[in-house]
Structures are given as structure tokens and as C-alpha cells.
């Protein structure tokens, strides 16, 4: 085996890949436990591993934070897709689809809250990377119990997870203030200054944080900043999350002028609609990534 050759997506980043002549290590693949462990069987015991493979897989997933992280984002994305339908369809055909602003606000709050939980799990996963046996204690006792000194190859992802958590927290302010009665007449003609500061601005700031975090996740799996990793599931997770983040950012940015222009209001709701679908696709890929990892994946 040749000497290791580290790869950095950007010059300032820590290495996220190490290649040998016949082996390749990637931080995301390691963090998601997608490498197949070497197994040795006593003669005649292969049938045991074959018959009990599903049982072992289920037990592994139950205590696997990467699996529950993906499930959380799938559920949150589903809530946002429903919210997108409730906001967008009445603008497409008002006579056929009546407004359900209260229900839409409720699903936005559910989606934003689930995203906040998912972002916390993402932060726990990042801070605890390489310490799999501590996941249970980490979730029970909080992130302060986790390893405080980051490994070199996890620094980039930990930064992305921290940005994601802060962005989700800021974004959650908008789903809280979007609940009925908090900002008077929010969907029609609210106090503009209050709506801009406490509803639209958190969406823009939080959405931009999602954009940065998604970009860092894409860079983590790339060999170079300019070269997409088209054969990596993790890269597509970052890509669709980036598209969703752009949609949510546009929703907030266009929202400032949505009360004075029906066209802008249409585009703002449409951005939430396709942004929610992008998040759902990315979350689905992430769930697939966390479940199907028994096969050898040496070069992701």
C-alpha cells in the first residue's frame, strides 16, 4: 500500500479524504458507518450470519443516530411539503382551493420544530463522530458530555452542523411568530415593521445558514471544490438540501414585498413549495444512505 495522500476540497479545510493505492477513506462514509466491517466466521457458521442479518440490521438502526437524523428530516420535510400545498394552491386557483392559513401555519410550526430537532441530532452526530458507543449517553445528557476535542477530519462537518443548528434556531423564530394571533393579520396586512423583523428576516437569515451548511456538506465529499462527486449519495443530500435552502431563503426575501404585489406573493409561496420538495428528496436520499450500507462502499 502506498503512502497516504490527503485531499482537501478547499485549501483552508482539513483533509476529508485519504487515498492509498488500494484504499480510500472518506469522513462522511465513516461518520455514517457505511464501510462494511471485516467479518470472520468459524467453519460452518455462515448460515447464522445469513439468517440473522435482518435482525442485526434492525438492532443497529434502532440505536443509530444517523438513521434517526434522516427520519427526523424526512418527517420535517413532509410537513413543509404540506405547508407548501396549503400556501400555493389557493394562489393558483382561488375558486377551487380556499385558504387555510391557520392550518398552513400549524404545519410550518411542526416542520420548523422538527428541523430544529434534526439539526440538534446533526450536531450530536458531528461532535460524537468516531465515538459510536456514546450515542445513547450523548442524547440523554446533552452535547456537553461529548468529546470536546475535534478530530482533524471532522472539523469541516462540525462547522456545517453548528451553522445548521444556529440557522434552524433562527428560522424557528419565524414559524413561531407565524402562528395565528402572534402577529395580527399576518397573511393580509400586518404591521410591516413587526412582520419584517420577526417573520421574514429570520427566514432569510436562517435560509442563508442552510445554504452555507449544505454547501459545506457537498464540499466534504468532494476531492476538490470545483469537482462534483456525482457517485456519492452524500453529495446529492447536500445538493438537494442546498436547493431547498435557496427556496426557503427566496420565500423570506420575496416576502418583504408580498403584501403589495400579488406576483411577488405567488413567487414567495412557490419558493416554499419547491424548496420543501427539494428538502424531502434530500432527506429521502439521506435515509437511504443510513439504511443501505451493508455493501462495500470503498470510494464514496
pTM here is: 0.79
Q: How far is CA 22 from CA 1, 95, 188, 298, in A?
A: 7, 63, 62, 9
Q: How many CA atoms lie within 13 A of 233 on its CB side?
A: 19
Which pLDDT tens digit goes with each residue over 214-254? 999 999 999 899 999 999 999 999 999 999 999 999 999 99
- Number of other residues whose CB lies within 10 A of the CB of residue 115: 29
Which pLDDT tens digit goes with each residue over 164-206? 999 999 999 999 999 999 999 999 999 999 999 999 999 999 9
* Confidence tier at 25 by pLDDT (50, 70, 90): low
Q: Taking all residues of the chain, what is their mean pLDDT, rounded to a whole number?
A: 82
Assigned C-alpha cell, 189: 396586512
Amino acid at each position: 500500500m502506498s503512502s497516504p495522500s490527503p485531499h482537501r476540497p478547499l485549501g483552508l479545510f482539513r483533509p476529508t479524504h485519504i487515498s492509498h493505492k488500494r484504499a480510500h477513506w472518506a469522513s462522511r462514509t465513516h461518520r455514517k458507518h457505511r464501510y462494511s466491517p471485516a467479518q470472520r466466521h468459524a467453519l460452518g457458521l455462515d448460515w447464522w450470519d445469513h439468517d440473522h442479518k435482518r435482525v442485526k440490521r434492525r438492532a443497529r438502526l434502532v440505536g443509530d443516530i444517523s438513521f434517526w437524523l434522516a427520519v427526523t428530516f424526512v418527517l420535517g420535510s413532509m410537513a413543509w411539503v404540506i405547508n407548501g400545498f396549503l400556501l400555493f394552491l389557493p394562489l393558483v386557483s382561488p375558486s377551487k382551493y380556499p385558504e387555510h392559513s391557520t392550518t398552513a401555519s400549524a404545519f410550518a410550526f411542526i416542520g420548523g420544530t422538527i428541523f430544529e430537532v434534526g439539526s440538534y441530532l446533526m450536531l450530536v452526530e458531528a461532535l460524537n463522530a468516531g465515538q459510536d458507543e456514546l450515542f445513547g449517553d450523548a442524547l440523554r445528557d446533552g452535547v456537553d458530555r461529548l468529546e470536546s476535542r475535534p478530530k482533524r477530519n471532522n472539523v469541516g462537518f462540525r462547522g456545517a452542523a453548528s451553522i445548521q443548528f444556529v440557522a434552524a434556531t433562527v428560522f424557528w423564530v419565524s414559524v413561531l411568530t407565524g402562528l395565528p394571533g402572534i402577529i395580527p393579520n399576518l397573511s393580509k396586512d400586518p404591521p410591516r415593521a413587526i412582520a419584517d423583523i420577526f417573520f421574514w428576516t429570520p427566514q432569510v437569515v436562517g435560509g442563508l445558514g442552510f445554504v452555507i451548511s449544505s454547501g459545506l456538506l457537498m464540499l466534504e465529499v468532494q476531492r476538490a471544490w470545483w469537482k462534483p462527486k456525482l457517485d456519492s449519495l452524500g453529495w446529492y443530500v447536500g445538493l438537494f438540501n442546498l436547493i431547498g435552502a435557496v427556496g426557503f431563503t427566496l420565500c423570506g426575501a420575496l416576502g418583504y414585498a408580498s403584501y403589495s404585489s400579488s406576483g411577488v406573493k405567488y413567487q414567495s409561496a412557490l419558493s416554499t413549495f419547491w424548496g420543501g420538495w427539494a428538502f424531502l428528496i434530500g432527506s429521502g436520499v439521506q435515509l437511504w444512505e443510513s439504511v443501505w450500507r451493508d455493501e462495500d462502499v470503498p470510494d464514496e
